Amino acid sequence: MKVLICDKTEKEFIEQMRAAGLTVDVRDDIIAEELSTVLPAYDGMVVRSRTKVRQPLIDVCPSLKVIVRGGVGLDTIDADYAKSKGITVMNTPLASSASVAELTIGYMFMLARSIYKATASMKAEKWDKKAFEGDEIGGKTLGLIGVGNIGREVAKRASALGMIVLAYDPYVKEIAGIKLIGLDELLAQADYISLHLPKTKESANMIGAAQFARMKNGVRIINCARGGIIDESALYDALTSGKAAGAALDVFAEEPPADWKLLKLDNVIGSPHIGAATKEAQARVGAEVAEKLIAFAKNGK
């Protein structure tokens, strides 16, 4: 089986695939315009967030049998269309869960204690000790929207810190140690709201003006899931009106953002979609990608 690596994958796991008999070519800098001429020669491809696999590309690759996305979501792939063409689509849902969960918890601490603003003040050679009175997160209520692998990892860590954890997930019936409630109830009770669900037709812009109106005054929002689940215009209004005390965003509706006004607010901190960007997560992703491709080459599934 001939495989094209379109995005960064650790060399160790590329060599594992080659040792198992796969022909593996690495083009982790390939641009979208080149893919349609290069990819038709391959049976499989490995992508991350950078490379998009849409219907027009799929249509010019009749030999393509498998797409492996190194990461959690499949929103960068027209997965249903690919499957309708007989192409197997896989991802690595467990590999980055701990890393994204840790970023989420770190963001909660940063929001609670104004760590970013305090650091910026110190770098400006100011000693504004009285300006940075914060809050403890112990005893506060965390509302998780989505409790898949990452949401559950966040819940474990938040519970260990003494937070009250509530969750909304229409696809989950019961989870030990987590109280599942309706979305409106969660919005009304949570001091912190963290999103951990894929972007789908149902979840796109699911947190908008009406949902912010139901939240506590001073709520803090964390999104390390996918951009476009929160209506960014409604979030901006909530942050500038004082409805929301702060937001921490690792993902955006457009990446990189075309309009940076949200990031320029003093009560917003952000990062360029780095939730899975740890050495440990990258190693697990590479290992899982190799395992799945080797198994597919042997068994066809």
State the pLDDT at residue 264. 97
State the pLDDT at residue 301. 67
Asked: is 2-95+279-299 a CATH 1.20.1280.260 domain? The reply is: no
Radius of gyration of the chain (CA): 21
Domain 97-270 adopts which CATH fold? Answer: Rossmann fold (3.40.50)
- DSSP character at residue 140: P
Q: Look at strands 164-168 and 179-180 and give their pairing.
A: parallel
35/57 Cα distance (integer angstroms): 8
**Which residues are within 8 A (CB) of 76 and not within 5 positions of it... i.e. 6 or more apart?**
47, 49, 51, 52, 53, 69
148/166 Cα distance (integer angstroms): 14
Domain borders along the chain are: 2-95+279-299, 97-270
Q: For residue 5, how many other CB atoms are within 10 A of its CB?
A: 25
Helices in the chain by DSSP H: which ranges?
Answer: 11-19, 32-38, 55-59, 79-84, 97-113, 115-123, 149-160, 183-189, 209-214, 232-241, 279-299
Within 13 Å of residue 285, how many CA atoms lie on the same side as its CB?
A: 28
Reading the chain (301 residues) residue by residue, the pLDDT tens digits are: 999 999 999 999 999 999 999 999 999 999 999 999 999 999 999 998 889 999 999 999 999 999 999 988 788 899 999 999 999 999 998 899 999 999 999 999 999 999 999 999 999 999 999 999 999 999 999 999 999 999 999 999 999 999 999 999 999 998 988 999 999 999 999 999 999 999 988 999 999 999 999 999 999 999 999 999 999 999 999 999 999 999 999 999 999 999 999 999 999 999 999 999 999 999 999 999 999 999 999 987 6
51/46 Cα distance (integer angstroms): 9
Give kind and range of the element (H or E) at residue 278.
none
- Count the helices and strands in the chain (H runs, E runs): 11, 12
**Which residues are within 8 A (CB) of 176 and not within 5 positions of it... i.e. 6 or more apart?**
none
Q: 74: closest CA among 169, 171, 200, 172?
A: 200
- Annotated catalytic residues are 226, 255, 273
**Which residues are within 8 A (CB) of 116 and not within 5 positions of it... i.e. 6 or more apart?**
110, 269
First-to-last alpha carbon distance for the chain, in angstroms, is 13
